[in-house]
Structure 1
Amino acid sequence: MPLQLEDYMLPCLNKKFFGMDCLGCGIQRALSLLFQGEFIAAFKMYPAIYTLLLLALMIAINFFYKVKYAQKIISILAVLNIAIIVISYIIKMNQLI
């Protein structure tokens, strides 16, 4: 059987030691789904996946080419990502109760 991308994923230590998901749980699986072309499933797995990729892309572009208002755009994207991650985590935790 060929190795799958899932064979190389890191375990969540928070889930392993405390038995509950952390704010980052699902991001590796969402990336894996994204690489497989499962775009909706990736969003359902980790709703911040696309805005995180946009943030990473903006940081990379700004690293090589200085973009006007880059710091403001990066700050807005960072706050947006934090909000999406926290809200989706709260929703996920409420569904488990």
Structure 2
Amino acid sequence: MMSPEDYMLPCLNKKLFGLECMGCGMQRSIALILNGDLIAAFQMYPAIYSLIALVGVIFLNYFKNFKHAYKIIIILALINASLILGNFIYKTFIS
């Protein structure tokens, strides 16, 4: 039986340079969410839930504009950028 892990793309940055990129772990995190392991998904890629929220707000705003969507999108984008950068720095330099 095939699993979602069988269809994951390898990280080109990791293959070429041996270093994880800022998106490393996102596919595995999504697979963990689909398998119901929500805590492990966060541990794998801490920005996953704020990224899902950002995509959801952008998607909802596309079909029905709401009053403060622009501010919410900016705040979620800043949260995502800081989580992604923080996770990258942690993985690269600290652990």
TM range (shorter): over 0.9
Aligned partners of 1:19, 1:56: CA distance in 2, in Å? 30
Q: CA deviation at 1:95?
A: 3.3
| In the alignment, structure 1 residue 56 sits paired with structure 2 residue 90 | no
Structure with more relative contact order (C-alpha pairs < 8 Å, separation 6 or more): 2
Find the aligned partners of 2:64 and 2:83 in 1 and give their Cα distance. 28
Task: Name structure 2 gaps, 5 residues minimum.
Answer: none
Give me the whole-angstrom Cα distance separating, in 1, the residues matched to 2:3 and 2:94: 30
Q: TM-score, normalised by structure 1?
A: 0.94
Aligned to 1:33: 32
Structure 1 outlier segments of 4+, above 2 Å? none
Unmatched 5+ residue regions in structure 1?
A: none
- Deviation digits for residues 46-90 of structure 1 (CA, Å, limit 9, x no counterpart): 000000000000001001111111111101100110001101111
Q: How many residues align?
A: 95
Root-mean-square deviation (CA, aligned residues, Å) is 0.8
Q: TM-score with structure 2 length normalisation? A: 0.96
Pick which of 38-47 and 66-75 moved more: 66-75
Identity of aligned residues (%): 51
